[in-house]
Amino acid sequence: MTKPDLASAQPHHFDVLVIGGGAAGLYAALSIPPQWRIGLVTKDNLSISASDWAQGGIAAAIGADDAVSLHVADTLVAGAGLCEPEAVEHLASHAAQCIERLVNLGVAFDRTAGDLAMTLEAAHSRRRVLHAADTTGRAIVSILAEAVLQQANITVFEQAFALDLWLDGGRCRGAAVVYDQRLCWLSAQATVLATGGGGQVYAQTTNPAASTGDGVAMAWRAGAQLRDLEFVQFHPTSLAQAGAPPFLISEAVRGEGAHLVDSRGDRFAFDYHPDGELAPRDVVSRAIFHHLQKTGDRQVWLDLRPIPRDRIQYRFPNILQVCRTWGCDPLTQLVPVSPAAHYWMGGITTDIHSQTSIPGLYAVGENASTGVHGANRLASNSLLECLVYGAELAHLPLVLDSATPAAPDAAMPAAGEPDLRWAKSSSAETWATLREQRARLTQLMWEAAAISRDRTRLEDAIAALSQWRTEMQQHPWHALRALPAGTAYPLPETLSWQLLRTWGELCNLHDIAWLILNSAVFRTESRGGHFRQDYPQTIAEWQVHTVVERDRWQKSPIIQP
């Protein structure tokens, strides 16, 4: 790894700019041939991402009783008719080689008698989920980060915030980035968005604080096509202990034999689906939601006691530790749980090579819509998608000694004398205001666009959000978006990069809330992670994608093989 040198006020040029430091961004950076110069931008550091929080594991059809065709079939069933078959086939057929590379890099997956251990998760027909205890994401990301830091061709910008994409003649040429107390310009032949999901738009989420939909929001403002944004997966079992954050309790717990029970001790999930607690995630989340409405309770419970104690201690040490920290011992007590926003199936439309609709712009991981998840992601396909589609960046069409772009187009408009009112805001007042506005937004989304939706609540939320977005766009800091490209701008001491990041994240959250709400209104049926109380049936004519460019929503057909 080389260290950033921002002494020059001119744009800093790379062959590839990767925005995001989770599994997708790290694996993409490692997949790009080492002769190319890579800039990698991450908001925190290389170990803080949603990938790092992933507990369950990574799916791959490598068992003796398994086959790629079975993995494909399970993924298509979970996707409720909206998966792109070619993309799913590509995912499943490239899983084995990605697992082999991780093992060669040093990822310590659990083993049984020397062989890779595999567990069963909901909606899988075989035990095909590899794991490293219950911290699989952390095991993978830590190894990938270590490998990235050893690469001389990769320059890492930690604690840096990408404000907007840099366009030139309709082509993406890099991004405007807030780093080291200045706004600077990083240009590149190819820009890769790997910023993760947007779970922080909801008041209850298992995602880390950095999951604010940055990549999707930046791509939308630049004019990229987005797809299936109404489909949000709510994990059915996040910790609901008083005072505790909504910590995810992995689906693998139920796969190992834990029961989901109500206040009377009944395994109520079988009242809603014949597979009970091992039904697809959206089914289990809605079962809990409707059961709580019926009973008036605030949570249900996971009973891990059917699992042998030594098995719990071996497979789920992190879950045990966190639950005990918050006063609940899963070995002897029921664990209170409730649903929380977990994964965004929609994102930036990409082809099988991770290319978006904007030349020079690519997307991988949760912020992309590759077509593999459809309306409801199959458990443990998310980490696999990061790897398989990140590996596609090995084939980027790069050329030697490309010219640095001279100026941006309308997505980052040039300006005359910049409006410097943004330098005069009171930090104390701004911090409080931003926190209040974020809490207001996330509660609105939880009430209007979470597990169960209807037109009235969605349209009321759109009306409120429209006013809030107008207020945000009048904020003086928006002048930063109009500063001429190509020159670094120092930030005043009164405006820390952390404060500017907080404001930028809130802008992105407003944008993705707008996209989710309008997409949810547009799709007048229920399917996968999108449930409408006023349109509870799945309708054949809606077996199409929802696509949006700018503020235009339309249907797009599934591409059949």
CATH number at residue 459: 1.20.58.100
pLDDT digits 0-9 by tens, 436-461: 999 999 999 999 999 999 999 999 99
The residue assigned the tokens 């609901």 is 240
Structure tokens at 218: 């930046």
- The pLDDT assigned to 416 comes to 40
**pLDDT confidence of residue 492:** 77
Q: Are residues 327 and 432 in the same domain?
A: no
Quote the pLDDT of residue 198.
Answer: 98
pLDDT, one tens digit per residue, over 299-333 is: 999 999 999 999 999 989 989 999 999 999 999 99
Instruction: Identify the domain boundary among 286, 310, 341.
Output: 341
Q: Is the pLDDT of residue 88 over 60?
A: yes
Separation of alpha carbons 378 and 59, rounded Å:
9
Stronger pLDDT, 486 or 489, i.e. the higher one: 489
Look at residue 100 and tell me whether its pLDDT is greater than 50: yes
Q: Please check whether residue 454 is in contact with residue 533, taking contact to mean a CB–CB distance below 8 angstroms.
A: yes
List the structure tokens of 351. 């082809």
- Domain end residue (candidates: 341, 365, 399): 341
| 336 lies in the same domain as 439 | no
DSSP run (H or E) holding 261:
strand 259-261
CATH of the domain at 247: 3.90.700.10
Residue 289 in domain: yes
Where does the pLDDT of residue 252 fall: very low under 50, low under 70, confident under 90, or very high at 90 and above?
Answer: confident
**39 domain-assigned:** no
Q: Determine the 3-state secondary structure of 220 from DSSP.
A: helix
Give residue 407's pLDDT: 46
- C-alpha 434/C-alpha 192 separation (Å) is 29
Domain, as residue range, for 293 = 235-341
Query: Which tokens sit at 94?
Result: 């490239």
Tell me which residue of 218, 484, 229 sits closest to 361, measured CA to CA: 218
* Number of domains, the chain: 2
Confirm whether 166 is domain-assigned: no
Co-location of 434 and 536 in the same domain = yes
Indicate whether 336 and 426 sit together in one domain: no
pLDDT for the residue numbered 62: 96
On whether both 427 and 334 belong to a single domain, the answer is no
Domain final residue, candidates 278, 309, 341: 341
Q: What are phi and psi of 254, to 5 degrees?
A: -70, -35
Residue 496 is assigned to a structural domain of this protein? yes
Taking alpha carbons only, the member of 497, 470, 548 closest to residue 161 is 497
Q: Is residue 474 part of a domain?
A: yes
Residue 361 resides in a domain: no
pLDDT tens for each residue of 211-225: 999 999 999 999 999
In a domain, 440, yes or no: yes
> Distance between CA 57 and CA 348 in Å, rounded?
24
Measured CA to CA, the distance from residue 418 to residue 484 in angstroms comes to: 8
In order of 176, 499, 500, the CA distances from 425 in angstroms are: 21, 11, 11
Instruction: Kindly list the catalytic residues.
Output: 281
Whether 328 and 439 map to the same domain: the answer is no
Q: Residue 498 in contact with residue 515, Cβ under 8 Å?
A: no
Q: Are residues 333 and 435 in the same domain?
A: no
Res. 505 pLDDT band, cuts 50 70 90: very high
- Examine the domain organization and report whether 432 and 540 are in the same domain: yes
Quick one: pLDDT band at residue 527, thresholds 50, 70, 90? very high
Which among 172, 59, 171, 177 has a CA at the least distance from the CA of 126? 59
536 and 429 within one domain: yes
pLDDT band at 57; cut points 50, 70, 90: confident
Q: In this structure, is residue 473 part of a structural domain?
A: yes
| Spacing of C-alpha 402 from chain mean position | 32
Among 4-18, 29-43, 192-206, 456-470, name the one with the lowest average pLDDT: 4-18
Place of tokens 């925190």: 44
